[in-house]
Structure 1
Amino acid sequence: MKLIIRPKRGFGRIEVDLPDELAEKIKTLSKRYAVSEKKVLEIVLSGSFKEPKGDVKRLENEVRELEKKVSKLEKEWAPLRYKAYGVSEDNKILAIELNALLAENSQLKRFLRKKVERNLELRKLIQYYLR
């Protein structure tokens, strides 16, 4: 594997031939940590790689267990979300029907020449459910 280092500005570059063993290690590290080979080389050359303080295998197992719990909770939550959506749609339909009944009621009161009462709180509540 041939490593070419170019400056950000200007001319010049450094070319280094890496042994096949080292190139294979870089490839395995990039696959293991799901990063590009370029990023692995940057970390190695800058010396910013840190050894983990804890037990990596144990932490990976904990992550897998937590992922299983998350998927289980998502499976339980999906039907609830679907039911909540259905209830929300029912509320919208009822709000539309209530709005129509209020309009009809006010028209009938006008026809009978009775006092029309405007219930602003009820109208605000209907607008809330229509959103």
Structure 2
Amino acid sequence: MFYSIFQNLGFEKSSAWMSYIAAGGSLSFLAINLLVLATAFYTWFERRTIARFQVRRGPNRNGPFGLGQPFADVIKLIMKEDTIPSEADKPVFTIAPIALLAPTLLIITVIPIDDSSFLA
């Protein structure tokens, strides 16, 4: 599909690799957005379920049935000020979350499917 689009736009010599990049980029964009929406829904569902266990209403302020609550939480988290304790080593305090998350992300970047193929 992308190959024919790029050929119609006049990119005849480089349309093959451009179509691979466009297809990969669009599929990655779709997968990331689906994961973000699924995470937001599961967060909302968890909060509603826990509220039901505690005999209260749960998140109901943002959007219909509180569906906007995870997005409001993200905005709140982005707006928060970073506080570093005065006696802490500032570079170590800043790098520690990255050092914890980086190996985990590197492990899941390549997922083997069988002996000769993998999902990256």
TM-score range relative to shorter protein: 0.3 to 0.5
Larger RCO (CA within 8 A; separation ≥ 6): 1
Name whichever structure is richer in helix by fraction.
Answer: 1
TM-score, normalising length: structure 1: 0.34
TM-score, normalising length: structure 2: 0.36
Give the number of the structure whose alpha-carbon radius of gyration is greater. Answer: 1
